[in-house]
Amino acid sequence: MATSWGTVFFMLVVSCVCSAVSHRDQQTWFEGIFLSSMCPINVSASTLYGIMFDAGSTGTRIHVYTFVQKMPGQLPILEGEVFDSVKPGLSAFVDQPKQGAETVQGLLEVAKDSIPRSHWKKTPVVLKATAGLRLLPEHKAQALLFEVKEIFRKSPFLVPKDSVSIMDGSYEGILAWVTVNFLTGQLHGHRQETVGTLDLGGASTQITFLPQFEKTLEQTPKGYLTSFEMFNSTYKLYTHSYLGFGLKAARLATLGALETEGTDGRTFRSACLPRWLEAEWIFGGVKYQYGGNPEGEVGFEPCYAEVLRVVQGKLHQPEEIQRSSFYAFSYYYDRAVDTDMIDYEKGGILTVEDFERKAREVCDNLEDFTSGSPFLCMDLSYITALLKDGFGFTDSTVLQLTKKVNNIETGWALGATFHLLQSLVISH
């Protein structure tokens, strides 16, 4: 892995020094995500850094990547990553954009602590916002992004043009797929023995895989396929981002099925919650009253019927995924950890049926089950319905639950950084 990455990074260094960067005449999917102005200046030092912010719906995360050229004449390699995060996400500050930007300021201190002062001015910093900001009114989202860019502008780091923006949902899936398959070594050579990726965020969910059968390509809806080249191979990916089908957005959709009017306004109720529960929940900067259904049924069956209405018939079901290998992360991983199905550090392998079994266990013992989250029954039931009735996976489908690969965080951030390099050196 290190040699292939190093080759690309070495070419980036040459491109920057020679100022001879050019792009394809043919438009490619990653054009417009990053610009060549991100090229680090004065890159003669042996260690270089890159700062990537992932501004999601539930939190903001910082990735500080380190690249090292250990000896003169040797190719630089990807050495490691410093990762940190804060909650809530920027979207929670929809009416307080300056306060939202202050959370980014705090994470920038992590970058300062991780990067020597001598490298600050030549280290690029980029923030890409995802579904949380895509759901906001455009003027409110842009106000948040403006304040973040002001924070960047006052920082000691290199701030390229368009360093702060909202990323299209389809890019999330593609870049996460690149990250996982790059870190697992699947993109080296011409075998194309890749794995699919499933990402479940707070506001959206993504599915991405490399189809192997012509039938899949023929039956896939327009807009679900994209092509790109890497390592002298062309990849035609199936990828789609479903906005509004993230875990927290699904909670809101499920709760909306049954409302009651009270003295304090509307209360959202669900069979997925304990009968006695009365509480408040904030999502996307909005406060909701919610609780159990004192007069109705509770447990897995009535809960599953509620979450099923959220996904049934609303997602495309490519038949090929039933025979494909998939890595799953984000809330798939978190809920599996919360219920002791996998180890927090090591992850693990689960089937779709494992999620359903755990959902039944939690939901059918709601009155006795203690958890940090009252939504655990609903979340597990939704994940089960999303996988089975949404995407069309079978009970026996095996999923690799992972948080890190080779000690690097999964998700789209590394893929974004990698494709920055790919786009810069494409003419070389």
290-311 residue pLDDT tens: 999 888 889 999 999 999 999 9
Taking Cα atoms as reference points, which of 286, 130, 136 lies closest to residue 202?
A: 130
β partners of residue 417? none
Please tell me the pTM assigned to this model. Answer: 0.77
Strand 326-330 to 196-200 pairing? parallel
Q: What residue ranges do the domains of the chain occupy?
A: 46-167, 247-404
Q: What is the DSSP letter of 15?
A: H
pLDDT tens digit sequence for 318-356: 999 988 899 999 999 999 999 999 999 999 999 999 999
Residue 100 pLDDT more than 70? yes
DSSP code, position 183? H
CATH code for the domain defined by 247-404: 3.30.420.150
Closest CA to 326 of 174, 171, 175, 177: 177
Which DSSP string corresponds to 202-240? SSEEEEEE----HHHHHHSPTTSEEEEEETTEEEEEEEE
H/E segment holding residue 110: helix 97-114
Mean residue pLDDT of the chain comes to 82
- What pLDDT score does 20 carry? 25
Indicate if 79 belongs to the active site.
no
- Higher-confidence residue of 417 and 86: namely 86
The Cα–Cα gap between 153 and 155 comes to 5
- pLDDT at residue 200 tops 90: yes
- Is residue 62 helix, strand or coil? strand
Q: Is residue 4 very low, low, confident or very high in pLDDT (cuts 50, 70, 90)? A: very low
3-state helix, strand, coil in the chain (%, to 5): 40, 25, 35
97 token code pair: 């954009």
pLDDT recorded at residue 416: 78
Does domain 46-167 fall under CATH 3.40.50.2000? My reply is: no
Q: What is the mean pLDDT of residues 212-222?
A: 91
The domains spanning 46-167 and 247-404 adopt the same CATH topology: yes
Confidence of residue 188 (pLDDT cuts 50, 70, 90): low
Distance CA 367, CA 294 (A): 12
**Most trustworthy range by pLDDT among 47-51, 167-171, 266-270:** 266-270
Could you give the percent of the chain with pLDDT greater than 90? 52
Specify the pLDDT at position 373: 81
Question: Is residue 406 scored above 60 in pLDDT?
Answer: yes
63 and 52 Cβ atoms separated by less than 8 Å = yes
Q: Give the pLDDT confidence of 120-139 residue by residue, as tens digits.
A: 998 889 999 988 898 899 99
Q: What residues contact residue 370 under an 8 Å CB cut-off, 6+ apart?
A: none
DSSP symbol at 31:
B
Tokens of 117: 């002062």
When pLDDT is averaged across residues 42-59 and rounded to a whole number, the result is 76
Closest CA to 129 of 218, 61, 28, 215: 61
Task: Give every CB contact of residue 94 below 8 A, 6+ residues apart in sequence.
Answer: 136, 140, 144, 284, 285
Binding residues: 202-206
User: Are residues 244 and 260 in contact, defined by beta-carbon separation less than 8 angstroms?
Assistant: no
Q: Which helix (H) or strand (E) holds 241?
A: strand 233-243
pLDDT at 15 over 80: no
* Cα angle, residue 205 at apex, residues 338 and 141 outer, rounded to 5°: 105
* Residue 420's pLDDT band (cuts 50, 70, 90): low
- Residue positions forming the annotated binding site for ATP: 202-206
Distance CA 278, CA 323 (A): 43
368: Cβ–Cβ under 8 A, 6 or more apart, which residues? none
What token pair was written down for 204?
């959206």
Q: Among residues 81, 102, 147, 172, which one is catalytic? A: 172
**Is 11 a residue whose pLDDT tops 80?**
no
Q: What pLDDT, on the 0 to 100 scale, is given for residue 232?
A: 65
Which residues lie below 8 Å from residue 427, measured CB to CB, with a gap of 6+? 20, 21, 22, 23, 24
Mean pLDDT of 414-418: 76
